[in-house]
Amino acid sequence: MESIGVLMPIPMSNYLERELEKRFNLLKLWTVPNQTQFIKDHAESVRAIIGNSSSGADAELIGSLPNLEIVASFSVGIDRVDLKVCKEKGIRVTNTPDVLTDDVADLVIGLTLAVLRRLCESDRYVRAGRWKKGDYKLTTKFTGKTVGIIGLGRIGQAVAKRAEAFSCPIAYYARSEKPDVKYRYYHSVPELAANSDILVVACALTKETRNIVNREVIDALGPKGVLINVGRGPHVDEPELVSALVEGRLGGAGLDVYQNEPEVPEELFGLENVVLLPHVGSATNETREAMANLVIGNLEAHFLKKPLLTPVV
């Protein structure tokens, strides 16, 4: 398999790069000055693309690679891959579900606690020497708060399980009610938001879920509510979120994803009720290695004509 060209558009994982180089002809697109020419020069040899949450395979890239057979995404989300074109051309698509579920769900709880208990602001308070002048103000309890989850898939259910340990009632919205789930189901996101203290975005990004958290949802969540987004930035109408936080119409937010990463609205930087993370939901050594192994396993299975481990298309 050493002669098989595998195109990686951007850096993703040193471990993944090393393991791919042991098995394939890894083409690192970001290392060359003229990327368009590089793709033309290697078009015939590229049979696989490695994607992730930031870079995938659009119709133009797919069309420029006549021998492309598989797109293996180093992420669960595949919104950067043109699935329609892949289906039409018989190109296989895989992702990395399950292995990152725990990390992302853990982060939801961490973000929730950080926002409600003002952990980041309290840390700065101590470091600035202000504790000597008086105690930090009272914050908000997490235990017992109602947690509403948009998307009750693997990650959503893992979040629910963790929140239950804090005695939190759980409610959710999904495309349809899940008959084997005990949590309360709401038929619309505004209705879920109106009945939640914390609203967690954990669904896949699709045409239907883009801006699923809009002004109506934010206003329903209200000045005491907290929004946690570990899905994708475009799930949330970002200008509306910013104005609601600045104006005090929303109680707080914990964000790991943004509309135009790595750009983050500067209006949020001075707000103590907002915790901002640089899209690190699955960014632990253990999980990134497991994700890389799954990418490699899918590529090896495909080129050895075995069943894919985690097929999407």
Q: Which amino acid is at 262?
A: P
* 110 and 239 inside one domain: yes
First to last CA, the chain: 22
For residue 221, name the pLDDT band (cuts at 50, 70, 90).
very high
Q: Which amino acid is at 107?
A: L
Count up the domains in the chain and report the number.
2
* 46 and 127 inside one domain: no
* 140 and 247 inside one domain: yes
* pLDDT tens column, 266-287: 999 999 999 999 999 999 999 9
Say whether 60 is catalytic: no
* 296 and 272 inside one domain: no
* 174 and 258 inside one domain: yes
**Tokens 């475009």 -> residue:** 234
SS (H, E, C) the chain: CCCCEEEECCCCCHHHHHHHHHHCEEEEHHHCCCHHHHHHHHCCCEEEEEECCCCCECHHHHHCCCCCCEEEECCCCCCCECHHHHHHHCCEEECCCCCCHHHHHHHHHHHHHHHHCCHHHHHHHHHCCHHHHCCCCCCCCCCCCCEEEECCCHHHHHHHHHHHCCCCCEEEECCCCCCCCCCEECCCHHHHHHCCCEEEECCCCCCCCCCCECHHHHHHHCCCCEEEECCCHHHECHHHHHHHHHHCCCCEEEECCCCECCECCHHHCCCCCEEECCCCCCCCHHHHHHHHHHHHHHHHHHHCCCCCCCECC
Instruction: Give the whole-angstrom CA distance, residue 200 versus residue 226.
Output: 9
Residue 309 placed within a domain: no
Residue 149 placed within a domain: yes
* 89 and 106 inside one domain: no
- One of 21, 44, 88, 261 is an active-site residue; which one? 261
When pLDDT is averaged across residues 115-137 and rounded to a whole number, the result is 98
Is residue 95 a contact partner of residue 77, using CB atoms and an 8 Å limit?
A: yes
CATH number of the domain within which 169 lies: 3.40.50.720
* 191 and 293 inside one domain: no
* 91 and 105 inside one domain: no
* 138 and 84 inside one domain: no
Residue 313 placed within a domain: no
Task: Name the residue among 89, 44, 97, 43 with its Cα closest to residue 70.
Answer: 89
Strands 252-255 and 226-229: parallel
Residue 243 placed within a domain: yes
Residue 111 placed within a domain: yes
1, pLDDT greater than 90: no
- One of 216, 279, 289, 300 is an active-site residue; which one? 279
**Domain encompassing residue 254:** 101-276
- One of 232, 235, 288, 302 is an active-site residue; which one? 232
* 122 and 157 inside one domain: yes
The pair of three-digit structure tokens given for residue 137, joined into one six-digit string = 């103000």
Residue 311 placed within a domain: no
Residue 43 placed within a domain: yes
* 148 and 75 inside one domain: no
The pair of three-digit structure tokens given for residue 159, joined into one six-digit string = 């979040």
Say whether 92 is catalytic: no
Residue 32 placed within a domain: yes
The pair of three-digit structure tokens given for residue 307, joined into one six-digit string = 């069943």
Instruction: Give the whole-angstrom CA distance, residue 166 versus residue 162.
Output: 7
* 116 and 237 inside one domain: yes
226: buried, middle or exposed (CB in 10 Å: 19+, 13-18, 0-12)? buried
The overall average pLDDT reported for the chain is 97
When pLDDT is averaged across residues 148-175 and rounded to a whole number, the result is 98
pLDDT at 148: 99
When pLDDT is averaged across residues 152-168 and rounded to a whole number, the result is 98
Say whether 187 is catalytic: no
pLDDT at 201: 98
- With a pLDDT cut of 70, the percent of the chain lying above it is 100
Spacing of C-alpha 40 from chain mean position: 32
